[in-house]
Amino acid sequence: MTRVYLDYNATAPLDPGAADAMVRVAAGAAGNPSSPHAEGRAARRALDEARARVAALVGARADEVVFTGGGTESDNLALLGAVRYLRASHVVISSIEHPAVLAAAERLEADGVSVSRIRPDAHGVVDAGEVIDAIGPRTGLVSIMLANNETGVIQPVAEIARAARSRGALVHTDAVQAAGKMPVDVDDLGVDLLSITAHKFHGPGGIGALVVREGTWVEPLVIGGGQERGLRSGTSPVAMAVGFGVAAEVAREGLDAHAAARGAFTRRFEARLHERLPQVVLHGAAVDRIPGTTSMAVPGVPADALVAALDLDGFAVSAGAACATGAASPSHVLSAMGVDEALIRSTIRVSAGRTSTEDEADALVDALVRITARMPEAAR
Amino acid sequence: MSADTPVRVPPAGERVAVAMSGGVDSAVAASLLARAGADVVGVTLKLWCYGDTDLGDRACCSLSAIDDARRTCDVIGIPHFVLDLESHFGERVIDRFVDDYLAGRTPNPCVLCNQHVKFTALLERVRPMGATWVATGHHARLDPRGANGPELRRGADAGKDQSYALWSVPRDTLRHTLLPVGELSKDAVRAHAHEAGLPVASKAESQDICFVPDGDYGRFVAGRVEVRAPALDPGPIVDVDGRRLGTHAGVARYTVGQRRGLGIAHEEPLYVVAIDADTNTLVAGPRAALARRGFGVNEVNWVSVPGLADERRLGIKIRYRHPGTPGLVRPLGTDRVEVVLENPQDAVSPGQSAVFYDGDLVLGGGVIADRGEVASPAGVDAGGEERGQGASG
Residue of B44, B84, B123 to mutate, interface with A, max A Cβ within 10 Å: B84
A263 touches chain B (CB under 8 A): no
CB-CB neighbours of A291 under 10 Å: 19
Contacts with B, A 93-112, CB within 8 Å = 99, 102-103, 106
Question: Which of A103, A106, A305 has the CB atom closest to B83's CB atom?
Answer: A305
Q: What is the mean pLDDT of residues A187-207?
A: 98
Strands A4-5 and A315-316: parallel
Smallest Cα distance from A73 to chain B, Å: 18
Question: Is residue A309 within 8 angstroms of chain B, CB to CB?
Answer: yes
> Cβ of B265 under 8 Å from any chain A Cβ?
no
Summarised one tens digit per residue, pLDDT across range A285-308 is 999 999 999 999 999 999 999 999
User: Rounded to whole angstroms, how far apart are CA atoms A290 and A124?
Assistant: 13
Is A206 within 8 Å of A247 (Cβ atoms)? no
Predicted confidence at residue B264, as pLDDT, reads 79
Mean pLDDT of A123-136: 97
Average pLDDT over residues A156-164: 97
CB-based contact (8 Å) between B13 and chain A? no
DSSP state letter for B302: -
Give Rg (Cα) of chain A: 21
Which pLDDT score is estimated for A195? Answer: 98
Using CA atoms, how far apart are residues A298 and A281, in angstroms rounded to an integer? 7
Count the Cβ atoms, other than its own, within 10 Å of residue B104: 25
**Does position A98 have pLDDT exceeding 60, yes or no?**
yes
Q: Are B167 and B364 in contact (CB under 8 A)?
A: yes
| Cβ burial, residue A134 (10 Å; 0-12/13-18/19+) | middle
Of A99, A106, A327, the CB nearest to B84: A327
pLDDT per residue as tens digits for the range A208-254:
999 999 999 999 999 999 999 999 999 999 999 999 999 999 999 99
Cα–Cα distance measured from residue A316 to residue A297, given in angstroms and rounded to the nearest whole number: 16
pLDDT given at position A29: 76
pLDDT of B372 reads 61
Mean pLDDT of the A277-282 span: 97
Residues from chain A that touch B58, judged by Cβ atoms under 8 A, are 99, 323-324, 329
Q: Which residues of chain B make contact with A324, given a CB cutoff of 8 A?
A: 58, 61-62
Q: What is the ipTM of this complex?
A: 0.89
- Mark yes or no for CB contact A372/B61 under 8 Å: no
pLDDT band (50, 70, 90) for residue A327 = low
How close B186 comes to chain A (CA, Å)? 30
B46 touching A (Cβ < 8 Å) = yes
- Report residues of chain B scoring pLDDT below 70: 1-5, 49-63, 207-208, 372-393
Instruction: Supply the mean pLDDT for chain A.
Output: 95
Q: Which residues contact B285 (CB under 8 A, 6 or more apart)?
A: B239, B240, B270, B271, B273
Say if CB A13 and CB A202 are below 8 A apart. Answer: yes
To test the contact with chain B by mutation, choose from A96, A312, A369 the residue with the greatest count of B C-beta atoms within 10 A, namely A312
Q: With an 8 Å Cβ cutoff, is B83 touching chain A?
A: yes
- Tens of pLDDT, residue by residue over A200-216, are 999 999 999 999 999 99
Q: Are strands A170-174 and A193-197 parallel, antiparallel or unpaired?
A: parallel
What confidence score (pLDDT) does residue A125 get?
A: 98
- Scanning B117-156, the segments in alpha helix (DSSP H) are 122-125
Chain B residues lying within 8 Å of A102, measured CB to CB: 55
B39 touches chain A (CB under 8 A): no
Q: How far is A83 from chain B (nearest CA, A)?
A: 21
Q: Please give the DSSP secondary-structure letter assigned to residue A293.
A: E
Q: Do A327 and B126 touch (CB under 8 A)?
A: no
Contact criterion met (CB < 8 Å) for B79 and A308:
yes
Q: Which residues contact B4 (CB under 8 A, 6 or more apart)?
A: none
- Predicted confidence at residue B207, as pLDDT, reads 66
Q: Are A244 and A14 in contact, with CB atoms under 8 Å apart? A: no
Distance from CA of A54 to the nearest CA of B (A): 31
The Cα B279–Cα B236 span in angstroms is: 9
Any A CB within 8 A of B56 CB? yes
What's the CA gap between A125 and A119, in Å, rounded?
A: 8
* B54–A302 CB contact, under 8 Å: no
Whether residue A321 lies within 8 A of chain B, CB to CB, comes out as no
User: Hey, what long-range contacts does A318-324 have (CB within 8 A, 24 or more apart)?
Assistant: A318/A7, A318/A9, A318/A10, A318/A348, A318/A349, A318/A351, A319/A347, A319/A348, A319/A349, A320/A150, A320/A344, A320/A347, A320/A348, A320/A349, A321/A149, A321/A150, A321/A349, A322/A7, A322/A10, A323/B58, A323/B61, A324/B58, A324/B61, A324/B62
Task: Note the pTM of the prediction, 2 decimals.
Answer: 0.90
Least confident of A3-17, A100-114, A326-340, B86-100: A326-340
C-alpha atoms less than 13 angstroms from C-alpha of B229 in its C-beta half-sphere: 23
